[in-house]
Amino acid sequence: MYTMNAVEFNEKIMKGHFRKIYPVIARQMVERTGITKGECIDLGGGPGMLAVCIAKITLMHVTVVDLMPECVELAIENSLEEGVRHRVDAVQGVAEQLAFADASIDLVVSRGSIFFWEDQQQGLAEVFRVLRPGGWAYIGGGFGTVELLREIDELKADDLEWQRKRKARMAQNPPEHFRAMLDRLGIEGVVEHQEAGTWIIFRKPQS
């Protein structure tokens, strides 16, 4: 299980070193899936910056789901600060047991959290369960573009622990690991792996 100082993570990472990546990733997710309205979950969304960016460029109602109550509070604060509180909510929860009805969500997104799920396969099964027919999931980890990745690498060059943990996560979660998981679940999707990130992308078939 992943633990962190939520306030420090919010200020130094999400609104600091990583602040440029969320608008880029949000745009990539929306352009790829074509979903611009309905219900969206930002799973493991922390202080909610990806949710905020999605709300800014769509008409979706976005719910941040995060394990830490501190992150839930920060997500609300950030959505207020960014002027999208009317379309961003936040609740405490985990990927493996989502408190949403079957077939109720149009888009599930997640950046960086799947590496810390207790049971990744159960989490993906839950994502599939809550998606409406025709709904999309876009889950994984990345930095938007290679240029942004290199910029962050430079900013974090002296943080050897961050570099070590990132390399370890990538080694423990190769693309074939997620492809095998989708196969076991019977979910038709793709795992796209590039230098800038690894993403699991699938659409629930129309009924």
Those residues with Cβ within 8 angstroms of residue 35's Cβ, 6 or more apart along the chain or in another chain: 58, 60, 106, 107, 135, 136
State in Å, rounded, how far the first CA of the chain is from the last one. 36
Topology of the domain covering 6-203: Rossmann fold (3.40.50)
Tens digit of pLDDT per residue, the chain (207 long)?
444 465 554 444 555 668 899 999 999 999 999 999 999 999 999 999 999 999 999 999 999 999 999 999 999 999 999 999 999 999 999 999 999 999 999 999 999 999 999 999 999 999 999 999 999 999 999 999 999 999 988 888 788 888 888 889 889 999 999 999 999 999 999 999 999 999 999 999 997
Report the predicted TM-score, pTM, of the whole model to 2 decimal places: 0.91
Supply angle C-alpha 115, 139, 74, rounded to 5. Answer: 75
Neighbours of 28 (CB within 10 A): 17
Domain ranges of the chain: 6-203
